[in-house]
Amino acid sequence: MYPLRKTKSATTTASSFFSFIIVIIYITTLIHNISLQDRFIILRYWELILTGFFAVIHPYLLFPEENMSLLQALNPSPNELIRYQLRNQRYTILGITVIFLIISFWDLHGWQHSILLKVQYFLSSLLFIVGLFSYSYRKYISIGNESQAYQEGIKGERIRKFRDETGQMAVPIGAIPTMQTTIVIGIVGMLAVVFGAYLSNRLQMNMEWIPGFLLLAAGILPFSKIRKVFDHFFYQTNAFYKEYFTSPFSGGLQHANDYPYESVYWVPVKWRASTWSGIVQLDRAYPLGRFILLGHLFLWILFYHGSSQLIINGYLLLFIIFHNINIYLLTTSVMGKQSWNYRLQSISNWIWSRFFIQIRWFLPLILSLTVVMIFSSRFTIYSLLSWSAIYILSSLISSIFFTYLYEFRYQQTYD
């Protein structure tokens, strides 16, 4: 009757759409005149990026379930639960499909130029992503039991002992199965891309559909075994991630002095308190630092492999857009409802607080680009300054944009 969907706020919808449009515009501007071979290389790079995306982000897309009490009331069957979760991810796959379509067919010489080859590579890339998606989904949906065992002390005694003795463990122990899964999916996905490219080069024909097909089989075949008891996996994994995402490090206990107020000394006093509280909340809820570190590593890999300027620029733009997710996340109700934020400080102060929260990643970006500049003659001081300016400007625009969607619209409604 009413298909159950995750409800999205205006902020979520607008930010997703806006980011997507930027990516599409950038791709269409830059690829319309490139060679066929470059298109296929770009498709492979996208497959690599999306491997990283699904490896790291997928559990955040799936869990925790925000409609839990409604799901309990509706009590969908296992098959209905599967359909529900897949429906919630349809726009992700659709967005990727659109990107692949544009990369494959947006051609100054006409989309029908070398159409057979383009269709082949488009379909094999799509098959790869669908295969990767199903593989990742299968892995993450069944992770709850193991994760809870690590989280609550049933398993992982050696690791816990190591942490207690050495004090060296930056990762919550409950996250270990997730991390292992992330690494496995990342490695499998990357090897699949490399394997497909290798086969195609060796046999001088497109064999890149093979790894996609294998991934799909690796995802769907085991999934068919758990389909009938999917409800058990869904509820268990959701229960784990609900507790984990609420407080990954210590179950809600002993958070004092995790992030002292003094650590934001560099922020003007007027905005220091809300900047500090935003950083504390963000870092507890979302381990973005790891993603950003991975992003920098991937940038260095791209330069090391001598990737074209097109790819470097495209990647840097995406990377900066990803940074701006910080600000979007701050304008969700879990970080502070609109009514609460609105009472706390003015709209202009929210804009500046969020800007400074974003700016904390500026120094790592500068350092990373400086490393690139030192080791690569292609990246000049001009490039560094340009990308720095783009970062600062995008941070300011994002801060204004998301604050407009969140607090300003609230003010317009209720004042």
Q: How far is CA 283 from CA 245, 248, 268, 275, 315, in A?
A: 11, 10, 21, 12, 24
Q: What is the DSSP letter of 407?
A: I
- Considering only residues 141 to 180 of the shown chain, the ones binding other proteins according to CB under 8 A are 144, 148, 151-154, 160, 172-174
Q: Report the chain's C-alpha Rg in angstroms.
A: 23
* Binding of other proteins by 78 (CB under 8 A): yes
| Beta carbon nearer to other proteins, 242 or 290 | 242
Tell the burial category of 395 from Cβ atoms under 10 Å away from its Cβ (0-12, 13-18, 19+).
buried
Q: Indicate the residue among 113 and 227 with the shorter CB distance to other proteins.
A: 227
Interacting residue with other proteins among 10, 21, 68, 334 (CB under 8 A): 68
Q: Is 108 in the site for other proteins (CB under 8 A)?
A: no
Q: Look-up: residue for tokens 């963000």?
A: 282
Cα 412 from chain centroid (whole Å): 32
Q: Which of 9, 16, 67, 114: binder of other proteins (CB under 8 A)?
A: 67
Per DSSP, 218 falls in state H
Q: Write down the least CB distance from residue 88 to other proteins, Å.
A: 15
The window from 119-127, 191-199, 243-251, 287-295 that contacts other proteins (CB under 8 A) reads 243-251
Q: How far apart are CA 162 and CA 260, in angstroms?
A: 27
Contacts of 280 (CB under 8 A, 6+ apart): 258, 259
Integer CA distances (angstroms), 22 to 1, 28, 228, 411, in order: 36, 10, 41, 28
Exactly one of 239, 310, 318, 366 binds other proteins (CB under 8 A); that residue is 239
When asked if residue 107 is in the footprint of other proteins (CB under 8 A), the reply is: no
Tokens standing for 162?
Answer: 């190591």
Shortest spacing between CB 319 and other proteins, in angstroms: 33
Q: Please say which residue, 147 or 394, places its beta carbon nearer to other proteins.
A: 147
Q: Tokens at residue 186, please? A: 């990342």
364 binds other proteins (CB under 8 A): no
Of 230 and 352, the one with the shorter C-beta distance to other proteins is 230
Amino acid at 371: V
Alpha carbon 383 to chain centroid, angstroms: 26
x-or-dash string of contact with other proteins, 5-24, rule CB under 8 A: --x-----------------
Position 72 contacts other proteins (CB under 8 A): yes
How near is the Cβ of 275 to other proteins at its closest, in Å? 28
Could you give the C-alpha distances from 9 to 329, 331, 333, 406, in angstroms and in order? 12, 10, 9, 9
Residue number, 7 or 37, with CB nearest to other proteins = 7
Q: Rank residues 233 and 356 by Cβ distance to other proteins and give the closer one.
A: 233
- To the nearest whole angstrom, how small is the minimum distance from the Cβ of residue 242 to other proteins? 8
Token reading at 197: 């490219």
User: Site for other proteins (CB under 8 A): which residue of 69, 166, 168, 204?
Assistant: 69
Name the site residues for other proteins (rule: CB under 8 A): 1-2, 7, 67-70, 72-78, 81, 144, 148, 151-154, 160, 172-174, 229, 231-232, 235-236, 239-240, 242-243, 247, 249-253
